[in-house]
Structures are given as C-alpha cells and as structure tokens.
Amino acid sequence: MDYIEFDLDSAVSTQSSIPEYSSLDAPLFTMGRQIQNVVGFKIIETTIPTSYYTLTDEINKETNYARNRVNFAILAGGTNSVYSYFDLTPNKNYTATELAAEIQSKIGTISLPLFDIPTTIITTCTYSTSTGKFTITMTPTPYWPSMEIRFIFDTTVAQLLGYQLPNSTDQSILVSQISSSTFSFVSSYVALASGPNYLHINSKFFSTIVKNYLPQGPLGTVGQTNEAICQVPVLTNFGGISCWQTAQPDSFNTQNLFQLEKFDLYLTLGTSKIPLKLNGLSWQCKIRVFIETNTVSRSMAGNVDQSRVVRMIGQT
C-alpha cells in the first residue's frame, strides 16, 4: 500500500464549497488528475489561526433572536411585568474580565417602568479565577414586593457565561430568581468565556464515503450523522495560531475503494454546526491519502466496550 501527502492551504482554493462563505473558510480542492483506488485518508497536520469570533450577531434560526442577545424581564406584585433586552458587542472575542464589564454596563443602563415608575438596576458583574464562574449582583431601585428577575440567554451566550453545558440541546436558557432585596446570579457551570477548546474539520465529501465510528451525540454533531472527520485542539487565545499533529499518521479511516478528484473542507467550533469564518485568513492542513497496490488485509475486532473494528493492511 502506498500513500500520497498533500500540503493544503485554503488560500490556493479558488472555489468555495458553501454558499455565502469565502474559499478561505470553506475551500473546495480539485486534484490535477483523478486518483484511483483510494482506500483511506487521514488529516495528519493542521495550522489554524485563532482569528474567528466566538460571539456573532447571526440569527439563531430556532429562536429568531441574534446569538449575542440577552432577553431580560422584571416581574413584580404578581400583576406587573416589563420586558427588555440588551445585545453584547458582536463579532469579537471576550476575555472573562471584558465580558464581566460589558454585562455590568449593559444591565446598569436598563430602566423599566414598573407601575409607571422607572426602575433602574444597580449592577455588578465579576469573574472568579478560582471557580471559573461569573456572579451578577443586582439591586433594583425602587424595590417591589415579590420581585422576580429573568434572563433568557441564547446558547452561545449561555455557554460563555457558564449557564449551559456543551452537550445541551436547548436553544435558549431561562434563569430566574425571586428575591426580597438583592439578586445574585452565579454561573451554574464553569464558564467558557473564551469559547470552546476544540475545532472540528468537516467534509461533505469524505463524510459520505468513510463511516465515522463515534458515539451518537445529543446534538447530532458526532456519530454517523455528521460531517466531522477530525477534531483539533484550540491551543492559543485570539490572535494566535494552533498547530497540531496526529500521533498515529499511519492509521486511517477506511471503507470501500473510491476515486478522489475533488473534496471540500470547512471548520466548526465545539459542538456548533455553523461553519467558522476566519476573517480573511487562510488555514492549512496536511492530508495523507492511502492507495491500494497489492494488499492483504486482516480485520481484528475490538472488545465489546470499544465497539469498533481495527483494520490492518500490509504489503504483500
């Protein structure tokens, strides 16, 4: 069995594989000539700039709200309720300190007419480096008996603030509290203030040919229903470059023989299915394509817990 390696840069692609996306973000690569008798492939190296934004104003199609929007409500006396919202600054990456400062500023400017009287909210928002959680403290003025405050976070904001687990299927998170004077909201989980810590490399072409023997997840982002072909760690903060290399370049995904003439690649962040935009920068990867010559194969079954098959192919 032989293999061919390709050093790919999305900058050399002239065609995008996804409408409304640049070829820098979602390249479609076309071979100079068709490669026959391909038995497998593997991404063995990647170089990806951390130039994407974790928070955008893209509309969540499930809720029809922008992903940077926080809906806000105050209920008082059991009969009076007022609603508002604020938008976090879109198309940027936050540090935990910056996110705390913006939350505090946005809530502090809200003024809502309860019983025809303007109600303002004295707010502080802090982030604890020892717990990894945010604390939002609010004191409404004036205060009304049985007052309740509600937040409705989009899934993106909820994860940034620590109110939603990465494998949750909810499209929005409701957080509410009834207090006699001061409200204190503490993150339910450790906050992902800088965003998820891994990327997926995806391919519509390769995912239809090579079965992905991963457990089926609640979001449909793993298992045989998704287009992910490789998971890559995010090793730097915004502005850096994450370089990764597989520890097993000679193992590969395999199924039936196929021909390779063109293929697509695109990136997603964490469990999100939304393709990433790198804001004008390209990304690189090295792909190893395995080609059948004269081969003999032996299949070795894994144990029941592994629920997988390892195929070993050697030269005759």
Q: Are 105 and 194 in contact (CB under 8 A)?
A: no
Sign of CA dihedral 161, 162, 167, 173: negative
Q: Kindly state whether residues 212 and 268 are assigned to the same domain.
A: yes
* Overall number of domains in the chain: 2
At 20-67, the pLDDT tens digits run: 899 999 999 998 888 888 888 889 999 999 999 998 888 887 788 888
**Is 279 domain-assigned?**
yes
Contacts of 247 (CB under 8 A, 6+ apart): none
Q: Is residue 168 part of a domain?
A: yes
Instruction: Say whether both 66 and 45 belong to one domain.
Output: no
Is residue 182 located within the same domain as residue 74? yes
Average pLDDT over residues 153-167: 85
Whether residues 49 and 93 fall in one domain: no
Domain limit, last residue, from 186, 211, 241: 186
Question: Residue 288 maps to which CATH number?
Answer: 2.60.120.1100
| 137, part of any domain | yes
Q: Residue 204's closest CA among 1, 9, 28?
A: 28
Structure tokens at 151: 């937040």
* Interacting residues of 295 by C-beta distance below 8 A, sequence separation 6+: 1, 39, 313, 314, 315, 316
Domain shared by 124 and 221, yes or no: no
In a domain, 245, yes or no: yes
Q: Which residues contact 146 (CB under 8 A, 6 or more apart)?
A: 76, 77, 78, 178
User: Residue 80: what residue type?
Assistant: N
Are 208 and 289 in the same domain? yes
Same-domain check for residues 25 and 77: no
Final residue of a domain: which of 154, 186, 218? 186
DSSP 8-state assignment for residue 171: S
Write out the residue range of the structural domain in which residue 110 sits: 59-186
* Residues paired with residue 120 on neighbouring β-strands, in sequence order: 111, 141
Which of 122, 180, 175 has the alpha carbon at shortest distance from 149? 175
- 6 shares its domain with 104: no
Residues 121 and 66 in one domain: yes
Peptide bond before residue 49 is cis, with ω within 30 degrees of 0: no
Domain assignment of residue 228, yes or no: yes
Distance CA 216, CA 209 (A): 18
Q: Which of 150, 165, 186 is the last residue of a domain?
A: 186
pLDDT in tens, 280-316: 999 999 999 888 876 444 333 333 333 333 333 333 3
Residue 191 lies in a domain: no
Top mean pLDDT of 186-190, 193-197, 219-223, 229-233 is at 186-190
Residues 43 and 129 in one domain: no
Q: Is the confidence at residue 18, as pLDDT, over 90?
A: yes
| Domain assignment present for 143 | yes
Instruction: List pLDDT tens digits, range 206-251.
Output: 887 766 555 555 454 444 457 888 899 999 988 999 999 998 888 7
Strand residue runs (E) in 77-169: 80-87, 111-114, 117-128, 133-141, 147-154
Query: How confident is the model over 110-139, as pLDDT tens digits?
Result: 888 877 888 888 999 999 999 999 999 999
